[in-house]
A = this chain, B = another copy of it.
Amino acid sequence: MANPTAGMLIIGDEILSGRTRDSNGAYLARRLTETGIDLREIRVVPDVEAEIVAALDALRHRYDHVFTSGGIGPTHDDITADAVAKAFGVGIDVREDARALLASNYRNPEMELNAARLRMARIPDGARLIDNPVSKAPGFTIGNVHVMAGVPAVFEAMVESVLPQLTGGTPLKSLSLRVFVPEGEVAGPLAEIAAGAPDVAIGSYPFQRDGRFGCSIVLRSPDPDRLEAVAEKLRAVLKRLGAGEIAESRSG
C-alpha cells in the first residue's frame, strides 16, 4: 500500500523577505520521512489571507495531510486561524478550552491574558486542539490540516504532539555512498543501474571540498535487501572508476 502523502504550507513575510531562514520545513521533512509519510510539496506564502486560503485549498485537496507553520500568535499579522476557517467555510471564535490553556500560562499579573493574547484562543469550529508543551497556546487540526506555530521550538513540539495520532506508512530506508569522483563520471553507469532498479529511488548530489569534486549517491527503498543489492552494483562501478574510499552511511 502506498504511504500517506503530505504537503506543507509555511506562512510568513519574514521568510520571503530573507529576514528569517526557515528551519521548520527541514524538521517536518525529516520527521515525516521517519514516520513513513511522503512529503510531496512545500509552499511558502506571505501573510495575506487570500494567498493562504488559495494555497491551503490547493494542498488539502491534493494530499492526505497538510501541515502549516506560522501566523498563529497574538499580533495583527497573525491571520492563519482566520484564513483556515475561511478555507473550510466555518466560523471562528474564542473557545473555552483554548482560553483555559492560555490562562494557565498567564497567572502572573504581568503576563495577563489580554485581548491580544485571547486571539490565540480563537479556534475554527470543529477543530481539535494540538498540545503545545512549550508555551501553552495551542495549535489545531481541522479536517486534514494541522495548524502549528512558526517559532521552531513550538513548531517542533507541536509536530511531536500530532505525529503519534497519524497513521504512518513504511519508512524509507536509505543508504548513501559518498566518493571523491566527479558526478559526471558516475552519471552514465548510474543511469544504467537506475534503469535496472525502478523500485529503488536513486539520487545523486554533487559537492566540492578542498578543490576536489565528489558526489553522494543516495539509494532509498523500504526494503533493505534491495538497497544492498543496488549498492553492490554501485560499489563495483565506483571501484572501476578509481574511487578510493567509499564513505557509506545508512538511515531509517
Contact = CB atoms under 8 A, between A and B. Distances in A.
A154 B23 CA distance: 22
Interface in A70-113: 73-77, 111
A77 B18 contact: no
Q: Copy number of this protein in the oligomer?
A: 2
A30 B15 CA distance: 9
A187 interface: yes
A64 to B, nearest CB: 15
A163 interface: no
A181 B123 CA distance: 25
Interface stretch (A114-122, A139-147, A222-230, A231-239): A114-122
Q: Is the interface of A mostly helix, strand, loop or mixed?
A: mixed
B111 A182 contact: yes
A49 interface: no
Interface string A147-165: 0000101000000000000
A175 to B, nearest CB: 12
A199 interface: no
Contacts of A166: none
A183 B14 contact: no
A41 interface: yes
A186 B115 CA distance: 11
A125 interface: no
10 closest residue pairs by CB, A with B: A18-B30, A116-B187, A18-B29, A42-B44, A76-B191, A117-B184, A75-B204, A74-B187, A21-B26, A75-B187
